[in-house]
Amino acid sequence: MIPEIGHFALILALFVALAQAVFPLIGAARGNRLWMNVACPASVAQFLLIAVAFGALMWCYIVSDFSVLNVAQNSHTDKPMLYKIAGVWGNHEGSMLLWVFILGLYGMAVSVFGGNLPPTLRARALAVQGMISVGFILFILMTSNPFLRLDPAPLNGEGLNPLLQDPGLAFHPPFLYLGYVGFSMAFSFALAALIEGRVDAAWARWVRPWTLIAWCFLTFGIAMGSWWAYYTLGWGGWWYWDPVENASFMPWLAGTALLHSSLVVERRDTLKSWTVLLTIIAFSFSLLGTFLVRSGALTSVHSFASDPARGVFILALLVIVTGGSLTLYALRAQNLKSGGLFAPVSREGGLLINNVFLSAAAGTILLGTLYPLFMDVLNVGKISVGPPFFNTVFVPLMVPVVFLMTIGTMLSWKRGDWRSAFARLKFAGIAALVVAVLTWGMSRGLGAGAALGLATWLFVGTMTGLVGRLGPTRMSAAEFLQRACAVPRSFYGMTMAHAGVAIVIVGIVGSTAWKTEKIQVMRFGDTVNVAGYDLTLKDVEDGVKGANYTASRATFTATKNGVFIAELHPEKRMYDMPPRPTTNAAIHTNFLGDLYAVIGDRDDNGGYVTRLYYNPLVPWIFIGAGIMAAGGLVSLTDRRYRIGVPGRKAAKKSARA
């Protein structure tokens, strides 16, 4: 009965979404407030109905109702409760239900917290959000119904992919979807503004918090997925330019550009066309990622489905959403004239150049991701585009971005003085040069030295800006505290985000340039030296029972200069259902580097294949990403986002006065 309730609730949600898409849009066009007012209760009702459907599917997983096909294919009675719940979104049908659940959540949030929005703008934005919901709910009901029954019901389920039975994967998809789907709200506001024919500073301030929320979640979700790949897959890396990794990175790049562009619209009433276009691109990239994962076009650990019919449906949605929005953008482009002029050397100019490079970076990743697919479709032959291509084209595009991140914050709006900016960054430049030369002198390579110098430039320059904003150092504690509280929280958030980028760069350089890897066959008592650490294989215990697996657990002792450092226990697991092997690395970290051990198969002579790594500064990647996301959350608490903005008419009157 519960599955039928969930299915019926999803059908009702479709009709509510249709009403939400149609009536407020017509009401806004006719000036009919009654019809416009349908948007808010409809979005709340739609969310509640989807929540009932999502809760019904989760209940089926919790009680192991194997009469539901989706549960039978992706769960098992012996699975720990965390992975029973995570199994809800660990498959195609459930993940799409999570998608529309979050889509409804954002729509409801605008209804509840958007009281300061103009009625026409809110009605149109929620109507566009309703249209998106219609498309995805139809997709679920027509091609991906999670409530299909199985008769007769099996005694037990087939289990969940063992690679997904991990705490990181239990939380990674929801955070990633909160980012992916969050850009739909910015997209809806953009289309609403295009329909209304008005994009101004007030609109930018309304749309910016929703973009910031999506960006924060997407940043954290990508970092969590990278962390999961690092410690679970056992290959010692944290990023491999996998096509589906790229599919999450492209909307992040577009969203980063969108955040900066919307700030310019808010502060200077310019770059309107850029901002609207970036909202369209960011959400289109999110849809593209959905298509790649579910179309069968790619084979990846991330892939959920390989049904061409599903791929065609999502591709049609992608074409309609992207094509329709770009057509509307082209028709309304003449209404997006910039109000504020600015000199090339200004904060606006710096942000514009950064947007160009970020957009170019997203475009090159798109090309590298889709080019092999196009070649395959045209029967030209199968080719592989891997890390060498992406590193070669992406890194040079990011160098000017990082360089300008520091300078841009030192420039004034409208017209800046580059001599003054460089004078304030004198210490940052000296520190960067010293770090670069020292790194190069340690025979770590010119590239590593330049990259660490660039990271130092960004971090020290960011701290210089913070110190300059807080004022002179000679003041009482009370004066300092008063000055610190007067600084807008958005400035603190920006400082944290930029510092986080610098920390991530240091982690990337350290783990790439100074990584040590040893692959060999070891017997009990053998010792291998890895970057000054002596790792000794002491024992391998077979038949170790886990919750739903049996493992062979190795024991390594790590010493340095005869001093005991740690004991590592990598495992090779064989899961019960489905019966698949996995490799689980053992990691010892001191936050300056990781000792990383993997145990492989046993050979005929009683030895074991082992892979031992020392990965310097890898934790800094995840710490830096966390600081970036935290910086975004701090910016969200800024006062101007809490109190909203004056109405457009009021703003115009005050401007005339």
- pLDDT given for residue 48 in this prediction: 97
- Does residue 614 carry a pLDDT above 70? yes
pLDDT in tens, 383-399: 778 889 999 999 999 99
Backbone angles phi, psi at 555, to 5 degrees: -125, 115
- 63: DSSP letter: T
Q: Helices 201-232 and 243-268, interaxial angle, to 10°?
A: 150
- List pLDDT tens digits, range 522-568: 999 999 999 999 999 999 999 999 888 899 999 999 999 999 999 99
Taking the CA of residue 458 as centre, how many other CA atoms within 13 Å lie in the half-sphere pointing to its CB?
27
Contact 249, 240 (CB under 8 A): no
Q: Which residues have C-beta within 8 Å of that of residue 463, sequence separation ≥ 6?
A: 495, 499
**Ordered strands of the 593-602 beta sheet:** 516-522, 608-616, 593-602, 586-589
User: Is residue 650 very low, low, confident or very high in pLDDT (cuts 50, 70, 90)?
Assistant: very low
Between CA 87 and CA 57 the distance in angstroms is 10
Is the pLDDT at 654 greater than 70? The verdict is no
What was the pLDDT predicted at 307? 63
- Contact yes or no for 236/517 (Cβ under 8 A): yes
Pairing of strands 563-568, 533-545: unpaired
Rounded Cα distance, 497 and 211, in Å: 15
Q: What percent of the chain has pLDDT over 70?
A: 94
Question: What average pLDDT score do residues 243-258 get?
Answer: 92
Q: Rounded to two decimals, what is the model's pTM?
A: 0.92
> pLDDT exceeding 90 applies to what percent of the chain?
59
Mean pLDDT of 364-389: 82
Judged by average pLDDT, the poorest of 32-36, 536-540, 569-573, 645-649 is 645-649
> Strand pairing of 549-560 and 533-545?
antiparallel
Q: Is the pLDDT of residue 30 over 60?
A: yes
Res. 431 pLDDT band, cuts 50 70 90: very high
